[in-house]
Structures are given as C-alpha cells and as structure tokens.
Structure 1
Amino acid sequence: MTTGMPSGSIDKALTVLEALAEHSRLTDIAAASGLPKSTVHRILQSLLGWGFAVADGNGGYLPGPRILTLAGRVMSRFDPAQHARAALRDLRDRTGMTVHFAIRSGDEIVYVDKIEGRRPYQMKSRVGMGVPLHTTAIGKAVLSQLTPAETAEIIDRAGLTAVTRRSITDPAVLRRQLDEAQAHGFAIDDGENDAGISCIGAPVFDHTASVMGGISISALSFEMDLDSEALAAEVISAARAVSVALGAPAADSDTEQAG
C-alpha cells in the first residue's frame, strides 16, 4: 500500500482495492485507505462495475471475480526465479559466493535458480535438482518455519538418510538446529549435503506469508565462516528482498529476527 495520503486517482483506486482485501464495510475501508467515505464510495462503485468488487448483501463489499480472473492470468506467467534474480545477483556480488534459490516440493527442495560465485570452481548443483530438506541450509530454513508436528511428519515419511558423514540423522539434533534457525532467521549446512561444501540459508515466503523455499550462499568449507554474523545478515536481507518480490507482505517478511 502507498505510504501517506494517496493523491492521484489511480493511487486512490489501488489503495481502496488493497483495503478491500481485508475489510468489507465502507467505514473500515475508508479508515484503512485514509480516504474520505465519499471518495471510497465512488471508487467502490467503479470497482463494482468492473467486477473487481461485489456487494455482500449486508451493506458491505467483497473482492469480485475479476480479481481472481486477473490473478489467474498473472500466475500462469509468473516465474519466481525471474522475480528473484536481481536480489540473487546482488547477494552473489556482495559475497562472491554461489547463490541458490530453491522451492519446497514435498519432502525435498528443488533448485530453481543458481548463480555461480566468483571463485575458480563451480558447484555440482544444477537447476531442477532435488535435494533433501534435512541436509541443506535452505531445507532446514524451510523446516524451521513449520510446526514441530509438520516436521515430525516429514521425518517419519522421508527419514533422515545420511548423504555425507556429516549429515544429521538424529531427530533431536535436527530439532535443536531448527529451533536455532527459527530464532536467528537462518540455517547452516556444514558439509552435510556435499562433502567439503558449507552453506548459509534463509527462508523465502510467498504472498500468503507462508514459507515456500529459501536462498543460500555456498562455498568450500574452508572459505565459509558459518559463524559470520555479516554473512548471515546478507543472506537474511536477500531472502527478505526475494520474499517481497514474490508478493509476501512486507510486515511479515521484514520482521526483525534475533541474531
């Protein structure tokens, strides 16, 4: 939503449309939009005519079917990787490390974008590759946003198979790491998915403020300081930027994390 009092007619209409997503009564929409009731009423009449609003039969208003139609058309062309690309490239440039963007798919994450780091080597990961949740920084960042019951179901279903000798196979140890990740806003992978490779990852949220995946930076373990607050802050900041680019409510995706 625009900050301050919307001035232009388009700004006012969009402000009312956003308020309509959470409120139905004219008085509440006016309060949320910061506009006079007369202005809001006039805009609502236009939205009714366009099908972007409908009367609820009780003197209020609801989002109309035209919104769903438009949203469906937009989502059919929506490419998360494309919208995240600028933030991913900036993270690579700021850290020099390989950056991954992955989305949860069932009991694993799938890489949807990868930007190689400014290093004389390349990671074996590739776009389209699926990897376990429990062995990756992105996967653990995702798990940290689920309830303990949801995580337990995933563990029961998928197991905690060791991918390297450093993979976590004890549910209690994983739970402790997830609690830390939830508290600090990022997770780590210390050679648990690819021997000799370490990662720092943070969760990415969708337009419903639900976790959908995450991003990470990766490098050879001797080059990666997993205790670096500066690196963690870079990843968290980039993950917030990606979340906002994908439609996450700014208030949720920008919630300050400890650490």
Structure 2
Amino acid sequence: MTEETGSKSRSGSVQSIERAFGLLEVMADAGGMLGLSQLATASGLPLPTIHRLVRTLVDLGYLRQEPSRQYVLGPKLVRLGESSSRMLSVWARPHLAHLVDELGESANMAMLDGDQIVYLAQVPSRHSMRMFTEVGRRVLPHCTAVGKAIFSQLPEADVRELLQRTGMPKHTENTITDPDAFMAQVHGTQEQGYATDEGEQELGVRCVAVPVPDVPSRLAISISGPAGRMTEALVGRAVPLLTEAAKSLSEDLR
C-alpha cells in the first residue's frame, strides 16, 4: 500500500466516523426517532450512505429499528451518556467551588435534557442553612433560573413549543405560568446576560444563573440561597463571577 493510498484510507475512515456521529446528533435533535428518508433529508447524505451507516450503528447497539421501520437511539448510548455526565461534573466542580469561595452560596451546573432540566453538579455552601439540589434531580425549566438562562440561547419558537408540551405547572405563588410573561423574562435574560428565579421553584429561595456559551450541550451554571442572603448586592457581585466561570468552563469543554 502506498503512502497516498494509506492517507486516503485514513481520511475515508475519519469521514465515516464524522458521518455516523452526525447521524446520532440528528437523531437526538429530532427526539430520538427517525426514518431513513427523514435522516437523509436532515443530514444531506445520500440514502445508500445513510443505510450503510445506520446498519453498522444497529449492529453495534447504538441504534435500534422499531416495528414501524423507524430507527431509535439504542440503549448502548445510555452508558456513554452517563459517563459523559460524570465527566461534566468533574470538569465543572473547580469552577463551582471558586464561586462558593467567592460568594458563599451553593453553586450548581444544570443541563437541558429533552424537556427537563437535570442537575449535573453542585458544590454546597458552607452555611448551616443552605440550598441543596441533589445531582440527577430533574425539574421543569420554566420555574428555574438555569432554565431561563438556557432558553435565552434557543430560538423562541422552540421555547414556546417546549412550554406548550410541559404545560407550565404552578409550583409556588411566584411561578410564571403564562408563556408570554415567561418569554418576556427570557428576552430580559438575553439583554442582561443572566436570569433569576424569585422563589418560582421553592418559596424563600433565590437563584441567579448564566448560560455556558459555545458548548454542544445546553448548560447553565448558577448560585442559589435563601432570599434573605441573596440580596441585590450579592447578585451584582455574582453575575460577573458567574459569567467568567461559564467562559472558563466553556474553554475546558472544547
């Protein structure tokens, strides 16, 4: 085999890997289920190429074919996702710990997963009275500062569709349950660069959050604490520190 032939072979192998992962990302963005023709339309790849890649992914357990002949994301991806989430937590912890050192309140990282917010990491405050969010906890995004922060990075139509699916249930007397009022908060987040939760998930708790920019996952970081300690002065100090931590975390994840 000549050097030129070997180079072409390696290049072709890399392209196949890129295309296979591209198909998995297309599937994930579409909710996890698509047919071959839909995959071809969404990816721009020829049907024969799609068929070859999909057959390989099915054989490996990363896709599964349903009786409807559509394809769904396979269970083997769950293990990869769980490991990836654990690594996100490892990378985030130093940034969250710095926020706790500087601000004194609990710091969190969360991700939009489907229609829910899942908390991936937390460093708790050292105060005896503190906010504790269990890692792995899932909540609806409309009553959280991290949800608003993540939504500020998404098209408004996508946000409204999600709100319609979830129904925006009321958790406290402060929960926003009107889509237009909620979108006004999202627009405010876009303008000011941060979001707040004013007792919308739990009375007496205040939270401020910023999105993590330029990363494939929809992430946000926040600090939260009792409303009496989360004063406007503290929020004013927190925003630039959160923004800097989000930028540093983004650089670590690239």
Q: Per the alignment, in what secondary structure is the counterpart of residue 228 of structure 2?
A: helix
Report if aligned partners of 1:109, 1:213 keep a CA contact under 8 Å in 2.
no
What's the counterpart of residue 176 of structure 2?
A: 168
Distance across 2 between alignment mates of 1:93 and 1:49: 52
What's the counterpart of residue 250 of structure 1?
A: none
1:207: Cα distance to partner?
A: 4.0
Q: 1:173 to 1:195 in 2, by over 3 A?
A: same
Q: 1:201 aligns with which of 206, 209, 212?
A: 209
Structure with more of its chain in helix, by fraction: 2
What's the counterpart of residue 11 of structure 1?
A: none
Report if aligned partners of 1:84, 1:246 keep a CA contact under 8 Å in 2.
no
Does 2:181 correspond to 1:222? Answer: no
1:226: Cα distance to partner?
A: 4.3
1:192: Cα distance to partner?
A: 0.7
Q: 1:173 to 1:67 in 2, by over 3 A?
A: closer
1:50: Cα distance to partner?
A: 8.7
Aligned residues: 193
Report if aligned partners of 1:188, 1:201 keep a CA contact under 8 Å in 2.
yes
Q: 1:147 to 1:195 in 2, by over 3 A?
A: same
Distance across 2 between alignment mates of 1:154 and 1:207: 21
Q: Per the alignment, in what secondary structure is the counterpart of residue 222 of structure 1?
A: coil
Q: 1:66 to 1:124 in 2, by over 3 A?
A: closer
Q: 1:226 to 1:173 in 2, by over 3 A?
A: farther
Does 2:7 correspond to 1:48? Answer: yes
Give unmatched runs, 5+ long, in structure 2.
Answer: 21-79
Does 2:160 correspond to 1:152? Answer: yes
What's the counterpart of residue 236 of structure 1?
A: 243
What's the counterpart of residue 199 of structure 2?
A: 191
What's the counterpart of residue 38 of structure 2?
A: none
Superposition TM-score, scaled by structure 2 size? 0.67
What's the counterpart of residue 81 of structure 1?
A: 89
Superposition TM-score, scaled by structure 1 size? 0.65
Distance across 2 between alignment mates of 1:164 and 1:141: 20
1:229: Cα distance to partner?
A: 2.8
Q: Per the alignment, in what secondary structure is the counterpart of residue 218 of structure 2?
A: strand
1:197: Cα distance to partner?
A: 0.5
Distance across 1 between alignment mates of 2:158 and 2:142: 13
Report if aligned partners of 2:130, 2:225 keep a CA contact under 8 Å in 1.
no
What's the counterpart of residue 18 of structure 1?
A: none
1:103: Cα distance to partner?
A: 1.1
Report if aligned partners of 1:50, 1:66 keep a CA contact under 8 Å in 2.
no
What's the counterpart of residue 182 of structure 1?
A: 190
Query: Which residue identity lines up with residue 118 of structure 1 in the other structure?
Result: R
Identity of aligned residues (%): 30
Query: Which residue identity lines up with residue 220 of structure 1 in the other structure?
Result: P
Distance across 2 between alignment mates of 1:155 and 1:173: 12
Deviates more, 1:192-201 or 1:223-232: 223-232
Q: 1:68 to 1:167 in 2, by over 3 A?
A: same
Report if aligned partners of 1:100, 1:217 keep a CA contact under 8 Å in 2.
yes
Q: Per the alignment, in what secondary structure is the counterpart of residue 125 of structure 1?
A: coil
Cα displacement string for residues 186-218 of structure 1 (whole angstroms, at most 9, x for unaligned residues): 10001111110100001124644xx51211000
What's the counterpart of residue 100 of structure 1?
A: 108
Q: 1:121 to 1:173 in 2, by over 3 A?
A: same
